[in-house]
Chains A and B, each alone.
Chain A
Amino acid sequence: MKEKSRFRKKDVIIILSLVIFAALSFILIYLVLPKTGDKVVITVNGEEYGIYPLSVDKEIEIKQIDKTNIIVIENGEVYMKEADCPDKLCIKMGKKSKGGQSIICLPNKISAEVITGEDKYDSIAQ
Protein backbone atom coordinates (compact mmCIF):
# COMPACT_ATOMS: atom_id res chain seq x y z
CA MET A 1 0.00 0.00 0.00
CA LYS A 2 1.19 3.47 -0.73
CA GLU A 3 1.84 5.94 1.99
CA LYS A 4 -1.24 7.97 2.87
CA SER A 5 -0.93 11.56 1.75
CA ARG A 6 -0.91 13.83 4.74
CA PHE A 7 -1.04 17.56 5.08
CA ARG A 8 2.55 18.52 5.85
CA LYS A 9 4.52 21.61 6.69
CA LYS A 10 5.47 22.19 3.06
CA ASP A 11 1.76 22.28 2.14
CA VAL A 12 1.19 25.02 4.69
CA ILE A 13 4.21 26.97 3.40
CA ILE A 14 3.11 26.76 -0.24
CA ILE A 15 -0.51 27.71 0.46
CA LEU A 16 0.48 30.56 2.77
CA SER A 17 2.97 32.00 0.28
CA LEU A 18 0.37 31.80 -2.51
CA VAL A 19 -2.20 33.58 -0.36
CA ILE A 20 0.30 36.27 0.66
CA PHE A 21 1.46 36.76 -2.93
CA ALA A 22 -2.13 37.02 -4.16
CA ALA A 23 -3.06 39.47 -1.40
CA LEU A 24 0.00 41.65 -2.07
CA SER A 25 -0.62 41.76 -5.82
CA PHE A 26 -4.27 42.57 -5.10
CA ILE A 27 -3.39 45.49 -2.82
CA LEU A 28 -0.58 46.74 -5.05
CA ILE A 29 -2.42 46.62 -8.39
CA TYR A 30 -5.89 47.69 -7.21
CA LEU A 31 -5.22 50.01 -4.30
CA VAL A 32 -1.68 51.45 -4.32
CA LEU A 33 -0.62 51.87 -7.93
CA PRO A 34 -3.70 53.28 -9.66
CA LYS A 35 -3.37 56.94 -10.61
CA THR A 36 -5.87 58.81 -12.68
CA GLY A 37 -5.21 57.92 -16.27
CA ASP A 38 -5.37 60.28 -19.22
CA LYS A 39 -5.51 58.11 -22.32
CA VAL A 40 -7.15 54.93 -23.52
CA VAL A 41 -5.34 52.49 -25.79
CA ILE A 42 -7.72 50.32 -27.77
CA THR A 43 -6.40 47.09 -29.23
CA VAL A 44 -8.42 45.05 -31.68
CA ASN A 45 -7.42 41.58 -32.82
CA GLY A 46 -3.83 42.03 -31.66
CA GLU A 47 -3.29 45.38 -33.34
CA GLU A 48 -3.44 48.87 -31.91
CA TYR A 49 -6.67 50.45 -33.05
CA GLY A 50 -6.20 53.91 -31.60
CA ILE A 51 -5.26 56.04 -28.62
CA TYR A 52 -7.93 58.38 -27.28
CA PRO A 53 -7.69 61.06 -24.59
CA LEU A 54 -9.98 60.48 -21.59
CA SER A 55 -10.67 64.22 -21.45
CA VAL A 56 -12.65 64.26 -24.68
CA ASP A 57 -16.07 62.57 -24.69
CA LYS A 58 -16.30 60.17 -27.60
CA GLU A 59 -18.17 57.14 -28.82
CA ILE A 60 -16.00 54.63 -30.67
CA GLU A 61 -17.73 52.00 -32.74
CA ILE A 62 -15.54 49.04 -33.59
CA LYS A 63 -16.84 46.89 -36.41
CA GLN A 64 -15.28 43.59 -37.30
CA ILE A 65 -16.69 41.24 -39.93
CA ASP A 66 -19.54 39.89 -37.82
CA LYS A 67 -18.91 41.66 -34.53
CA THR A 68 -19.66 45.11 -33.19
CA ASN A 69 -18.54 46.81 -29.98
CA ILE A 70 -19.19 50.35 -28.86
CA ILE A 71 -16.74 51.90 -26.42
CA VAL A 72 -17.70 55.20 -24.82
CA ILE A 73 -15.45 57.80 -23.22
CA GLU A 74 -17.46 60.08 -20.94
CA ASN A 75 -16.52 62.37 -18.04
CA GLY A 76 -12.96 61.03 -17.92
CA GLU A 77 -14.12 57.41 -17.77
CA VAL A 78 -14.24 54.67 -20.36
CA TYR A 79 -16.77 51.86 -20.60
CA MET A 80 -18.12 49.28 -23.01
CA LYS A 81 -21.57 50.45 -23.98
CA GLU A 82 -22.57 47.73 -26.40
CA ALA A 83 -21.13 44.41 -27.46
CA ASP A 84 -22.53 41.46 -29.35
CA CYS A 85 -20.33 38.93 -27.59
CA PRO A 86 -22.16 36.06 -25.86
CA ASP A 87 -21.10 36.73 -22.25
CA LYS A 88 -21.27 40.57 -22.09
CA LEU A 89 -18.56 40.50 -19.42
CA CYS A 90 -16.98 43.54 -21.03
CA ILE A 91 -20.13 45.58 -20.41
CA LYS A 92 -20.35 44.36 -16.79
CA MET A 93 -16.75 45.44 -16.17
CA GLY A 94 -18.08 48.94 -15.75
CA LYS A 95 -16.33 52.30 -15.94
CA LYS A 96 -12.54 52.56 -15.81
CA SER A 97 -10.46 55.68 -15.29
CA LYS A 98 -7.24 54.71 -13.49
CA GLY A 99 -3.93 53.90 -15.12
CA GLY A 100 -3.49 50.17 -15.74
CA GLN A 101 -7.20 49.38 -15.55
CA SER A 102 -8.63 47.70 -18.58
CA ILE A 103 -11.76 46.41 -20.22
CA ILE A 104 -11.40 43.12 -22.04
CA CYS A 105 -13.78 41.51 -24.51
CA LEU A 106 -12.27 38.07 -25.03
CA PRO A 107 -14.75 36.75 -27.62
CA ASN A 108 -14.39 39.82 -29.86
CA LYS A 109 -10.67 40.18 -29.09
CA ILE A 110 -10.87 43.79 -28.00
CA SER A 111 -9.12 45.50 -25.11
CA ALA A 112 -9.25 49.07 -23.85
CA GLU A 113 -6.45 49.93 -21.43
CA VAL A 114 -6.26 53.18 -19.49
CA ILE A 115 -2.74 54.61 -19.39
CA THR A 116 -1.17 57.52 -17.56
CA GLY A 117 1.14 60.07 -19.15
CA GLU A 118 4.25 58.23 -17.98
CA ASP A 119 3.15 55.05 -19.77
CA LYS A 120 3.13 56.88 -23.09
CA TYR A 121 6.68 55.96 -24.04
CA ASP A 122 6.06 52.37 -23.04
CA SER A 123 3.34 51.97 -25.59
CA ILE A 124 5.41 53.63 -28.29
CA ALA A 125 8.36 51.35 -27.55
CA GLN A 126 6.14 48.33 -28.05
Chain B
Amino acid sequence: MTASRSKKVATLALFLALAMILSYVEAIVPIPIPVPGIKLGLANSAVLIILLLEKPGDALLVSLVRIFLSGLLFGNAFSIIYSLSGGILSFVIMFLAIKLIKLHPVTASILGGVFHNIGQVIAACFILGTKAVLYYIPVLLVSGIITGALIGIISNEIHKRIGGKILI
Protein backbone atom coordinates (compact mmCIF):
# COMPACT_ATOMS: atom_id res chain seq x y z
CA MET B 1 0.00 0.00 0.00
CA THR B 2 1.35 3.39 -0.89
CA ALA B 3 -0.23 6.69 -0.08
CA SER B 4 -0.40 9.80 -2.20
CA ARG B 5 2.49 12.20 -1.89
CA SER B 6 0.65 14.73 0.22
CA LYS B 7 -0.70 12.03 2.52
CA LYS B 8 2.84 10.71 2.96
CA VAL B 9 4.14 14.18 3.87
CA ALA B 10 1.34 14.62 6.40
CA THR B 11 1.89 11.19 7.98
CA LEU B 12 5.65 11.65 8.28
CA ALA B 13 5.14 15.12 9.75
CA LEU B 14 2.83 13.57 12.31
CA PHE B 15 5.46 10.99 13.25
CA LEU B 16 8.11 13.71 13.45
CA ALA B 17 5.90 15.83 15.72
CA LEU B 18 5.27 12.79 17.91
CA ALA B 19 8.98 12.00 18.10
CA MET B 20 9.76 15.59 19.05
CA ILE B 21 7.12 15.70 21.78
CA LEU B 22 8.59 12.45 23.14
CA SER B 23 12.15 13.90 23.12
CA TYR B 24 10.84 16.95 24.95
CA VAL B 25 9.08 14.84 27.57
CA GLU B 26 12.35 12.94 28.07
CA ALA B 27 14.38 16.10 28.37
CA ILE B 28 12.23 17.35 31.28
CA VAL B 29 11.91 14.04 33.15
CA PRO B 30 14.94 13.52 35.38
CA ILE B 31 16.48 10.05 35.51
CA PRO B 32 17.63 9.00 38.99
CA ILE B 33 20.77 7.17 37.78
CA PRO B 34 23.80 9.48 37.62
CA VAL B 35 25.29 8.16 34.40
CA PRO B 36 25.51 10.36 31.32
CA GLY B 37 23.49 9.15 28.36
CA ILE B 38 20.82 7.08 30.10
CA LYS B 39 17.36 7.78 28.75
CA LEU B 40 14.25 5.91 27.72
CA GLY B 41 14.59 6.62 24.02
CA LEU B 42 10.84 7.18 23.63
CA ALA B 43 11.37 9.03 20.35
CA ASN B 44 12.85 5.85 18.94
CA SER B 45 9.40 4.23 19.01
CA ALA B 46 8.24 6.57 16.21
CA VAL B 47 11.28 5.55 14.14
CA LEU B 48 10.82 1.86 14.93
CA ILE B 49 7.13 1.90 13.92
CA ILE B 50 7.98 3.41 10.51
CA LEU B 51 10.73 0.80 10.17
CA LEU B 52 8.19 -1.94 10.95
CA LEU B 53 5.95 -0.50 8.22
CA GLU B 54 8.84 -1.35 5.87
CA LYS B 55 9.75 2.23 5.07
CA PRO B 56 13.40 2.39 6.18
CA GLY B 57 14.17 5.54 4.17
CA ASP B 58 11.33 7.42 5.81
CA ALA B 59 12.31 6.09 9.24
CA LEU B 60 15.85 7.36 8.79
CA LEU B 61 14.56 10.73 7.56
CA VAL B 62 12.29 11.17 10.60
CA SER B 63 15.11 10.08 12.91
CA LEU B 64 17.66 12.55 11.47
CA VAL B 65 15.27 15.52 11.29
CA ARG B 66 14.12 14.78 14.84
CA ILE B 67 17.71 14.74 16.10
CA PHE B 68 18.55 18.08 14.46
CA LEU B 69 15.33 19.83 15.48
CA SER B 70 15.24 18.63 19.09
CA GLY B 71 18.99 19.24 19.38
CA LEU B 72 18.49 22.85 18.25
CA LEU B 73 15.48 23.33 20.54
CA PHE B 74 16.51 21.51 23.72
CA GLY B 75 20.24 20.86 23.35
CA ASN B 76 23.37 22.18 21.69
CA ALA B 77 25.88 21.30 18.98
CA PHE B 78 27.43 18.57 21.11
CA SER B 79 24.18 16.95 22.10
CA ILE B 80 23.42 16.74 18.37
CA ILE B 81 26.72 14.91 17.79
CA TYR B 82 25.94 12.45 20.61
CA SER B 83 22.40 11.86 19.36
CA LEU B 84 23.57 11.50 15.76
CA SER B 85 26.21 8.89 16.50
CA GLY B 86 23.80 6.96 18.71
CA GLY B 87 20.84 7.43 16.37
CA ILE B 88 22.61 6.43 13.15
CA LEU B 89 24.32 3.38 14.67
CA SER B 90 21.11 2.18 16.30
CA PHE B 91 19.15 2.75 13.07
CA VAL B 92 21.62 0.74 10.97
CA ILE B 93 21.62 -2.11 13.51
CA MET B 94 17.81 -2.20 13.78
CA PHE B 95 17.45 -2.05 9.99
CA LEU B 96 19.86 -4.96 9.52
CA ALA B 97 18.25 -6.91 12.36
CA ILE B 98 14.76 -6.63 10.88
CA LYS B 99 15.55 -6.76 7.17
CA LEU B 100 18.53 -9.07 6.96
CA ILE B 101 18.43 -11.36 10.00
CA LYS B 102 14.62 -11.12 10.24
CA LEU B 103 14.64 -10.76 14.01
CA HIS B 104 11.57 -10.03 16.10
CA PRO B 105 10.84 -6.27 16.52
CA VAL B 106 11.54 -6.46 20.27
CA THR B 107 14.94 -8.09 19.68
CA ALA B 108 15.74 -5.46 17.04
CA SER B 109 14.77 -2.70 19.49
CA ILE B 110 16.97 -4.17 22.23
CA LEU B 111 19.92 -4.25 19.82
CA GLY B 112 19.02 -0.69 18.82
CA GLY B 113 19.02 0.46 22.44
CA VAL B 114 22.35 -1.18 23.21
CA PHE B 115 24.05 0.15 20.07
CA HIS B 116 22.59 3.62 20.56
CA ASN B 117 24.45 3.77 23.87
CA ILE B 118 27.62 2.27 22.37
CA GLY B 119 27.52 4.93 19.63
CA GLN B 120 27.21 7.67 22.24
CA VAL B 121 30.09 6.31 24.29
CA ILE B 122 32.31 6.22 21.18
CA ALA B 123 31.36 9.84 20.44
CA ALA B 124 32.09 10.82 24.06
CA CYS B 125 35.53 9.14 23.88
CA PHE B 126 36.42 11.32 20.90
CA ILE B 127 34.87 14.56 22.18
CA LEU B 128 36.30 14.26 25.69
CA GLY B 129 39.58 12.78 24.44
CA THR B 130 39.66 10.14 27.17
CA LYS B 131 38.84 6.50 27.70
CA ALA B 132 37.44 7.31 31.16
CA VAL B 133 33.95 7.11 29.65
CA LEU B 134 34.34 3.35 29.11
CA TYR B 135 33.81 2.84 32.85
CA TYR B 136 30.10 3.49 32.26
CA ILE B 137 29.73 0.94 29.46
CA PRO B 138 28.25 -1.86 31.66
CA VAL B 139 25.50 0.41 33.07
CA LEU B 140 24.76 1.67 29.58
CA LEU B 141 24.58 -1.89 28.22
CA VAL B 142 22.09 -2.88 30.90
CA SER B 143 20.01 0.28 30.47
CA GLY B 144 20.07 -0.17 26.67
CA ILE B 145 18.67 -3.69 27.03
CA ILE B 146 15.89 -2.61 29.41
CA THR B 147 14.82 0.55 27.56
CA GLY B 148 15.19 -1.19 24.19
CA ALA B 149 12.88 -3.99 25.35
CA LEU B 150 10.27 -1.50 26.63
CA ILE B 151 10.33 0.62 23.47
CA GLY B 152 10.28 -2.56 21.35
CA ILE B 153 7.21 -3.96 23.10
CA ILE B 154 5.36 -0.62 22.87
CA SER B 155 6.22 -0.13 19.18
CA ASN B 156 5.39 -3.73 18.28
CA GLU B 157 1.98 -3.55 19.97
CA ILE B 158 1.16 -0.22 18.28
CA HIS B 159 2.26 -1.64 14.93
CA LYS B 160 0.18 -4.79 15.38
CA ARG B 161 -2.94 -2.84 16.33
CA ILE B 162 -2.95 0.16 14.00
CA GLY B 163 -0.06 -0.53 11.62
CA GLY B 164 -2.42 -1.46 8.80
CA LYS B 165 -4.22 1.87 9.03
CA ILE B 166 -1.08 4.01 8.72
CA LEU B 167 -0.44 4.87 5.10
CA ILE B 168 2.97 6.18 4.19
Contacts and interface: CB of A to CB of B under 8 A. Distances in A.
Given A19-B145, A46-B128, A102 B107 contact: no
B127 to A, nearest CB: 6
Contacts of A93: 34-35
Contacts of B37: 106
Interface of A: 2, 5-8, 10-11, 14-15, 18-19, 21-23, 25-26, 28-30, 41, 43, 45-47, 87, 89, 92-94, 100-102, 104, 106-107, 109-113
A22 B124 contact: no
A7 B102 CA distance: 10
B142 interface: yes
B10 interface: no
Interface stretch (B16-24, B40-48, B58-66, B133-141): B133-141
Interface residues of B, number: 33
Contacts of A89: 34-36
Nearest to A110: B128
Q: SS class of chain B's interface: helix, strand, loop or mixed?
A: helix
A112 to B, nearest CB: 7
Contact of A46 (B107, B127, B136, B139): B127
A11 B54 CA distance: 20
A123 B37 CA distance: 25
Interface in B81-105: 82, 101-105
A10 B101 contact: yes
B132 A111 contact: yes
Contact of A26 (B36, B114, B142): B142
A94 B78 CA distance: 24
Contacts of B54: 2
Nearest to B159: A5
B110 A112 contact: no
B57 interface: no
